[in-house]
Amino acid sequence: MDLSFSPEIEAFRAKVRTWFETEFPEDIIRKNKAGLPLTTAEVRKSEMALGKKGWLATAWPEEYGGPGWGIEEQYVFDEELERAGVPTVTPMGVIYVGPVIYTFGSDEQKARWLPGIRDGSVGWAQGYSEPGAGSDLASLQFSAKLENGTYTLNGHKIWTSAAQHADWIFLLARTSQEEKKQQGISFICCPIDAPGVTVKPIITIDGNHVLNEVFFEDVKVPEDNRIGEAGKGWTYSQYLLGFERTSYARIGGKRAMLRHIRDVAMTTPDGSGERLIDDEGFARRLTEAEMAVDGLEMTVFRVLSAAAQGGSPGDAASTVKILATTTHQQITELMVDAAGAYAQPHFSFWAGQNDPGGSPGRDMATYFAGRAQSIYGGTNEIQRTIIARKVLGL
Do 387 and 256 sit in the same domain of this protein?
Answer: yes
Q: Which residues of 211-235 are buried (b: 16+ CB within 10 A; e: fewer)?
A: bbbbebeebebeeebbbbebbbbbb
Q: Are residues 253 and 372 in the same domain?
A: yes
Boundary-marking domain end, from 89, 115, 141: 89
Residue 294 has pLDDT above 60, yes or no: yes
Number of domains comprising the chain: 3
Same domain, yes or no, for 254 and 386?
yes
- CA–CA distance, 349 with 133 (Å, rounded to integer): 29
Residues in the chain: 394
Q: Are residues 319 and 269 in the same domain?
A: yes
pLDDT in tens, 204-259: 877 788 899 999 999 999 999 999 999 999 888 877 765 554 556 778 788 888 98
Q: How confident is the model at residue 382 (pLDDT cuts 50, 70, 90)?
A: low
pLDDT computed for residue 84 by the predictor: 92
Predicted confidence (pLDDT) per residue in 37-78, tens digit? 899 999 999 999 999 999 999 989 999 999 988 878 888 898
pTM: 0.78
- Give 242 or 92, the one with higher predicted confidence: 92
Strand, coil or helix: 113: helix
On whether residue 236 sits in a domain, the answer given is no
Asked if residue 222 is part of any domain, the answer here is: yes
Spatial neighbors of 173 by CB under 8 A, at least 6 apart, are 140, 142, 143, 144, 151, 153, 155, 185, 186, 188, 233
Q: What is the pLDDT of residues 115-157, one digit of tens each?
A: 999 999 999 999 999 998 866 778 899 999 999 999 999 999 9
Structural domain includes residue 98: no
CATH code assigned at 224: 2.40.110.10
253 and 199 inside one domain: no
114: in domain: no
Strands 185-191 and 209-222: unpaired
260 occurs within a structural domain? yes
Tell me: the pLDDT tens digits for 299-342?
877 776 655 555 555 566 677 778 888 888 899 888 888 876 45
The residue segments making up the domain with residue 160 are 124-231
Is residue 381 domain-resident?
A: yes
Residue 360 in domain? yes
